[in-house]
Amino acid sequence: MKDFLTRRRLLTGGAITLGGLALTGCDALFASPGFRSFLGNGEALTMAAQRALMVGQPLAREFSERDISPIFKANGTKNPNTPVYNALAAGSFNTWRLQIDGLVDRPLSLSLADLRAIPARTQITRHDCVEGWSAIGKWQGAQLGPLLQAVGLKPNARFAVMHCADNYGGGADMYYESIDLVDGFHPQTILAYSLNGQPLDVAHGAPLRLRVERQLGYKHAKYLMRIEMVERLDAFGRGRGGYWEDRGYEWYAGI
C-alpha cells in the first residue's frame, strides 16, 4: 500500500490502480491520514488524479426503494428563519445562488435551475446521526466532483468549506462544515435538491444540502449558500472545521 502512495503511481497509473484495488484495502487507503495529507501537497491535483479519486473510491451502501423510511426525521435547524433566508424562501429560492469560490480559477454562481441542468445522481442511502437515529432516504442532486473540476482548483486548495444559511440555536455562529478532496470527489458526494422524489423541503435543508454518504449526519450541511475552497480550516468558526467539530465532535466522521 505504501508503494501505491508514491506520486508517480497516483499520477500515471492512478485510475487503473485505484479501480483495481480490493474494496477493504481501498477503504483503508482513503481513510488514512497519510493519503489524505498527500492530496494536500499541491501536486496531486492533475486531471488524472482527480479522475482516479472519482472512479476509485468505494461506495457507501445503497438501498432499494422499498427500504426508504416512511418518515425521515429532520434534525438540528429545521428552519433558519433569518431575514435573508426568509426572503429567499418567500421567492421559492428563485433568487438563491450557490457560490463556489475561494482557491479556484473560475468561481461559479449557480441557480437551482443551473444545478438541475447538470446530470443528476440519485442514491438511496442511510443517514446516521450521532444522536442515535438513522433513516433511509432517496437523494438526488449534482455531484460535487465535476463542479470542483469545472471551477479549477488552485494547487493549494485542500478543503471545501460549506457555508450555511442558519445559526443553529440562534447563537452568533453560522452552521458550517468542511470536507477534504477525497470526499469532495467521491461519486456519492452530491449537492442534493430532492428527497424521496420531492424538492427538498425547508426542514431537510432547502434549497440545497450536502450529502457526503460515508460520513455521519452532522457533516451533511443543510441550507447551502457558498462552497469556499481553502487551504486551512483555522480561520473558520472556532477553527476545527465545522459547527459541531468546534463543540467537540470529530472532524473525520467516517462510518
Ligand X SMILES: Nc1nc2c(c(=O)[nH]1)N[C@H]1C(S)=C(S)[C@@H](COP(=O)(O)O)O[C@H]1N2
Per CB under 6 A, the segment of 81-89, 118-126, 143-151, 199-207 that binds ligand X is: 199-207
Examine residue 74 and tell whether it contacts Mo ion (CB under 5 A): no
Give the residue, chosen from 30, 96, 193, 223, that forms a contact with ligand X under the rule CB under 6 A. 223
The interface with ligand X within residues 94-123 (CB under 6 A) comprises none
186 binds, among ligand X, Mo ion, none (CB under 5 to 8 A by kind): none
Examine residue 214 and tell whether it contacts ligand X (CB under 6 A): no
213 binds, among Mo ion, ligand X, none (CB under 5 to 8 A by kind): none
Per CB under 5 A, the segment of 43-51, 85-93, 126-134, 185-193 that binds Mo ion is: 126-134
Smallest distance, Å, CB 13 to ligand X?
Answer: 38
105 and 151 Cβ atoms separated by less than 8 Å = yes
Examine residue 85 and tell whether it contacts Mo ion (CB under 5 A): no
Closer to ligand X at the Cβ: 90 or 130? 130
Positions touching Mo ion (CB under 5 A) are 129, 217-218
